[in-house]
């Protein structure tokens, strides 16, 4: 058997070559005939009642599906009730709503439905949220995907990319009421050959962060083990309508850097990135700016156990500074904190989780991080596992704006929205209508903009185009 | 039946004539064996057939169907919590019937993919085999581009580490 040659130094190029020369098998004739037997294909036209005429290759699959559906139905019905059940060491809760009732109680209860040993509680007095679905495909092709949302004055702005085929184009849309959205012109030279990555609010306006689609001149085609990196681009706007590309001297600190996460708050902006030198190992770096127009950088002095860099999944702004969370692979989920955005310390965390999908959100009096468990912290320095987490089930996701933390949790027929300022005491309301089967991406796919929540997701069939789900917070 | 459904069904017919091979190969490269690839390709076609009406832009069929295949692969991996890569020793010359396993066994670059976790493997296959830019990979996976980049970076780091292990192992065995 062949072995790796020492001269195999450009992995990038060799992978391309290897896949190019690979002789892959065609679909077996058995599979081809099974697919051809599907009614629409066999008859040359679509039939009605597709689901009824579906042919399952294995009858057992249908039985398994039915059994699984039954189990899910039982569990789904029981879990919301279980949440209202007294847990060992907890006070007796007030009766909770049944799973079949989605009508808000006449007079929300401020009595806790769950009390935790750490002093946390879940109350039933939270504001509900009402959703409107905005199809992003109306602003381009079916391949429009949003990357960020922020507010400037009374205008909400969403940044996206239309990645139809290889013809990627930036898309920026704006709205004042959350229901009527219009596209902001992005066909000028300032947006040529650009890809948008994120959008944050800065003093006096908004900052778009993206990258040039032009090839890396120093590292074309992965030469000599070099990782191609695209040039960082930034645009500034005072109103969300007109955008100015910032000069290269502003983005010069980001030379050969991939920006992984960015956050803005009272202490300015922080961006985490990976610096890829043309020769040598990549380094984890962190950047800080007071206003987005001038940036300072520092090395991030922590390493992953499995590679020369550590990759921060998400950085969030807090009232005292910034918190970053990471995890995945062989590394346990971890948090760091910083007051100035450049000097970072490792937080005391519960450990034990290796789930890479780490999300974080900050309220006015505390913050949470979530992978497979919900962590809570008052200051970002010391974290513990929440004793009364919101009812995380189904496609749970969290968002925060430094004032409120929001968790949407539940499944297609029964969904709650939880609000908290400290991550310990949660106020539960309804999510109406429940977002059926909507899969919200983790970590930075939902934003709280004043009295509006904007989330990005798809319908249950995950191949469907992206939608914006614009939620109006009741009572605001 | 609407014209959209008509178009979708035409796409599915085209799938049988050509796209099925791509789906099967994509699944095989992600899952590492032909049996799972066959199952997943079949399931993906059924899913696509059920939801073809959702595809409003026929020109986007390939990306749309890729995404279904990739999601079906990830579902399969999650259910199985394993990928059937079979690690063979350097002197193991047993005949291999599975074409995907054979490919990974005998290509010095592709065998490195075995060391990747499923999400990393998906990114590598879409980027290098399907020759997709990272933005298109992000669309197919429903991830932010930044996440795709970090997955790809982790994957390349892991493979480089694995290369080091193999090189060292070879030297040590001499």
Nearest CA in chain B to A50: B50
Most confident of A63-77, A234-248, A254-268, A388-402: A234-248
Give me the pLDDT at residue A61, please: 36
A310 confidence band (pLDDT: 50, 70, 90): low
Nearest to A4 among B108, B138, B142 (CB): B108
Residue numbers in B near A27 (CB within 8 A): 20-21, 23-24, 38, 41
Structure-block tokens of residue B68: 């279904």
The reply to whether A297 falls in a domain is yes
CB A272 within 8 A of CB A260: yes
For residues A40 and B162, the model is more confident at B162
CB A195 within 8 A of CB A231: no
Is A41 within 8 Å of B139 when comparing Cβ atoms? Answer: no
Residue numbers in A near B20 (CB within 8 A): 27, 31-32, 35
Residue numbers in B near A8 (CB within 8 A): 108-109, 163
User: What are the residues whose beta carbons fall under 8 Å from the beta carbon of A387, sequence distance 6 or more?
Assistant: A116, A117, A118, A120
The answer on pLDDT for A217 being more than 50 is yes
Give me the pLDDT at residue A50, please: 34
Residue numbers in A near B131 (CB within 8 A): 16
Q: Among residues 382-421 of chain A, which lie with CB inside 8 Å of chain B? A: none
CA–CA distance, A274 with A229 (Å, rounded to integer): 10
The reply to whether A431 falls in a domain is yes
Strands A121-123 and A414-420: unpaired
Structure-block tokens of residue B88: 């063979």
Give me the pLDDT at residue A374, please: 84
Is A329 within 8 Å of B117 when comparing Cβ atoms? Answer: yes
Candidates A4, A168, A232, A372: best to mutate against B (most CBs of B within 10 A) is A4
pLDDT tens sequence across A150-188: 999 999 999 998 876 556 789 999 999 999 999 999 999
The reply to whether A38 falls in a domain is no
DSSP code for A119: S
The reply to whether A54 falls in a domain is no
Q: With 0-12 CB in 10 A as exposed, 13-18 as middle and 19+ as buried, what is B108?
A: middle
Q: How many CB atoms are closer than 10 A to CB A203? A: 12
The reply to whether A10 falls in a domain is no
Lowest-confidence region among A33-42, A62-71, A119-128, A222-231:
A62-71
Residue numbers in A near B136 (CB within 8 A): 163, 166
Question: Quick check: A138 contacting B, CB < 8 Å?
Answer: no
pLDDT tens sequence across B103-153: 888 887 888 888 887 788 899 999 889 888 777 787 777 666 667 777 787
Q: Pick from B23, B153, B91: which is nearest to A272 by CA? A: B153
Give me the pLDDT at residue A191, please: 95
A224-260 burial: b if 16+ Cβ within 10 Å, else e: ebbbbbbbbbbbbbeebeebebbeeebbebbebbbbb
Structure-block tokens of residue A125: 């007095």
Residue numbers in B near A35 (CB within 8 A): 15-16, 20, 42, 45
Lowest-confidence region among A108-112, A155-159, A376-380:
A108-112
Nearest to A307 among B57, B131, B157 (CB): B157
Question: Quick check: A436 contacting B, CB < 8 Å?
Answer: no
CA–CA distance, A121 with A422 (Å, rounded to integer): 11
What percent of chain B has pLDDT above 70? Answer: 63
User: What are the residues whose beta carbons fall under 8 Å from the beta carbon of A427, sequence distance 6 or more?
Assistant: A122, A123, A124, A125, A126, A127, A418, A419, A420
Give me the pLDDT at residue B16, please: 59
Could you tell me the domains of chain B? 3-173 (1.10.10.10)
pLDDT tens sequence across A286-305: 999 999 999 999 988 876 55
3-state helix, strand, coil in chain B (%, to 5): 80, 0, 20
Question: How many structural domains comprise chain A?
Answer: 1
Is A459 within 8 Å of B54 when comparing Cβ atoms? Answer: yes
User: Cα-flanking dihedrals φ and ψ of residue B26, to 5°?
Assistant: -60, -45
CA–CA distance, A329 with A306 (Å, rounded to integer): 8
Give me the pLDDT at residue B47, please: 73
Candidates A17, A19, A21, A45: best to mutate against B (most CBs of B within 10 A) is A19
CB A298 within 8 A of CB A343: yes
Candidates A35, A199, A272: best to mutate against B (most CBs of B within 10 A) is A35
Is B57 within 8 Å of A142 when comparing Cβ atoms? Answer: yes
Cα-Cα end-to-end distance for chain A: 68
Is B136 within 8 Å of A166 when comparing Cβ atoms? Answer: yes
Domain extent for A395: 121-473
B9 confidence band (pLDDT: 50, 70, 90): low
CA–CA distance, B172 with B174 (Å, rounded to integer): 6
Is A12 within 8 Å of B55 when comparing Cβ atoms? Answer: no
Residue numbers in A near B57 (CB within 8 A): 137, 141-142, 164
The reply to whether A301 falls in a domain is yes
Residue B145 Cα distances to A15, A22, B159, angstroms: 21, 28, 21
The 3-state DSSP class for residue A370 equals strand
The reply to whether A61 falls in a domain is no
The answer on pLDDT for A347 being more than 70 is yes
Give me the pLDDT at residue B87, please: 42
The answer on pLDDT for B44 being more than 90 is no
Mean pLDDT over all residues of chain B? Answer: 72
Most confident of A30-39, A313-322, A384-393, B96-105: A313-322
Shortest distance between the Cα of A27 and any Cα of chain B, in A, equals 5
Give me the pLDDT at residue A436, please: 63
What percent of chain A has pLDDT above 90? Answer: 36
Q: Which residues pair with A468 in a beta bridge?
A: A134, A456
A288-301 burial: b if 16+ Cβ within 10 Å, else e: bbeebbebebeebe
Give me the pLDDT at residue B27, please: 94
Q: Which residues pair with A133 in a beta bridge?
A: A469
Shortest distance between the Cα of B49 and any Cα of chain A, in A, equals 8
**CA dihedral (A299, A300, A304, A305) positive or negative:** positive
CA–CA distance, A123 with A115 (Å, rounded to integer): 9
pLDDT tens sequence across A60-74: 333 333 343 333 333
Shortest distance between the Cα of A361 and any Cα of chain B, in A, equals 18
The reply to whether A102 falls in a domain is no
Give me the pLDDT at residue A247, please: 96
The CATH number of the domain holding residue A322 is 2.130.10.150
Shortest distance between the Cα of B166 and any Cα of chain A, in A, equals 7
Cα-Cα end-to-end distance for chain B: 69
3-state helix, strand, coil in chain A (%, to 5): 15, 40, 45
User: What are the residues whose beta carbons fall under 8 Å from the beta carbon of A58, sequence distance 6 or more?
Assistant: none
Residue numbers in A near B41 (CB within 8 A): 27, 31
Is B157 within 8 Å of A163 when comparing Cβ atoms? Answer: no
Is B153 within 8 Å of A35 when comparing Cβ atoms? Answer: no
């Amino acid at each position: 058997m062949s072995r790796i040659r020492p001269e195999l130094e450009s992995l990038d190029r060799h992978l391309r070559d290897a896949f190019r020369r690979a002789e892959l098998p065609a679909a077996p004739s058995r599979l081809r005939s099974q697919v051809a037997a599907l009614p629409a294909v066999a008859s040359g036209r679509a039939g009605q009642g597709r689901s009824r005429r579906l042919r399952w290759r294995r009858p057992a699959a249908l039985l398994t599906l039915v059994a699984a559906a039954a189990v899910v139905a039982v569990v789904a019905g029981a879990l919301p009730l279980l949440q209202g059940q007294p847990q060992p060491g907890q006070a007796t809760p007030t009766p909770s709503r049944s799973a079949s009732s989605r009508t808000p109680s006449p007079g929300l209860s401020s009595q806790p439905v769950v009390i935790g040993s750490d002093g946390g509680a879940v109350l039933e007095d939270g504001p509900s949220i009402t959703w409107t679905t905005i199809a992003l495909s109306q602003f381009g092709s079916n391949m429009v995907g949003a990357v960020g949302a922020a507010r400037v004055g009374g205008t909400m702005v969403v940044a996206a990319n239309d990645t139809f085929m290889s013809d990627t184009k930036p898309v920026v849309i704006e709205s004042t009421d959350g229901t009527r959205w219009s596209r902001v012109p992005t066909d000028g030279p300032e947006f040529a050959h650009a890809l948008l990555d994120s959008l944050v609010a800065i003093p006096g306006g908004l900052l778009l962060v993206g990258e040039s689609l032009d090839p890396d001149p120093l590292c074309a085609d992965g030469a000599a083990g070099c990782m191609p990196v695209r040039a960082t681009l930034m645009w500034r706007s005072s109103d969300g309508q007109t955008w100015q590309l910032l000069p290269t001297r502003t983005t010069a600190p980001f030379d050969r850097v991939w920006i992984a996460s960015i956050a803005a708050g009272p202490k300015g902006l922080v961006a985490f990135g990976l610096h890829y030198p043309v020769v040598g190992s990549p380094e984890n770096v962190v950047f800080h700016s007071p206003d987005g127009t001038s940036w300072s950088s520092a090395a991030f002095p922590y390493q992953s156990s499995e590679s020369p860099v550590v990759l921060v999944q998400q950085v969030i702004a807090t009232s005292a500074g910034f918190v970053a969370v990471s995890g995945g692979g062989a590394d346990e989920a971890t948090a760091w904190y910083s007051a100035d955005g450049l000097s970072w310390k490792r937080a005391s965390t519960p450990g034990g989780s290796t789930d890479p999908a780490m999300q974080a959100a900050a309220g006015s009096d505390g913050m949470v991080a979530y992978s497979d468990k919900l962590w809570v912290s008052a200051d970002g320095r010391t974290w513990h596992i929440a004793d009364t987490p919101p009812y995380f089930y189904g496609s749970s996701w969290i968002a925060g704006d430094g004032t409120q933390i929001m968790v949407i949790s539940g499944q297609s027929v029964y969904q709650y929205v939880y609000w908290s300022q400290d991550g310990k005491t949660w106020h539960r309301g309804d999510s109406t209508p429940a977002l059926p089967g909507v899969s919200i991406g983790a970590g930075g796919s939902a934003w709280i903009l004043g009295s509006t929540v904007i989330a990005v997701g798809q319908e249950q069939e995950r191949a469907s185009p992206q939608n914006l789900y614009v939620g109006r917070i009741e009572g605001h | 039946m609407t014209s959209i459904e008509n178009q979708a069904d035409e796409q599915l017919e085209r799938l049988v004539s050509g796209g099925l091979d791509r789906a099967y190969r994509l699944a095989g490269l992600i899952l590492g064996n032909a049996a799972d690839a066959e199952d997943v390709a079949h399931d993906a076609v059924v899913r696509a057939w059920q939801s073809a009406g959702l595809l409003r832009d026929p020109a986007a069929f390939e990306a749309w169907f890729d995404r279904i295949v990739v999601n079906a692969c990830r579902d399969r991996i999650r259910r199985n919590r394993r990928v059937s890569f079979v690690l063979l020793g350097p002197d193991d010359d047993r005949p291999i019937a599975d074409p995907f396993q054979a490919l990974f066994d005998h290509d010095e670059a592709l065998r490195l993919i075995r060391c990747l976790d499923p999400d990393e493997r998906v990114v590598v296959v879409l980027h290098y085999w399907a020759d997709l830019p990272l933005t298109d990979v992000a669309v197919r996976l429903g991830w932010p581009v930044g996440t795709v980049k970090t997955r790809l970076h982790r994957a390349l780091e892991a493979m480089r580490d694995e290369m080091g292990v193999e090189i060292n192992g070879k030297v040590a065995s001499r």
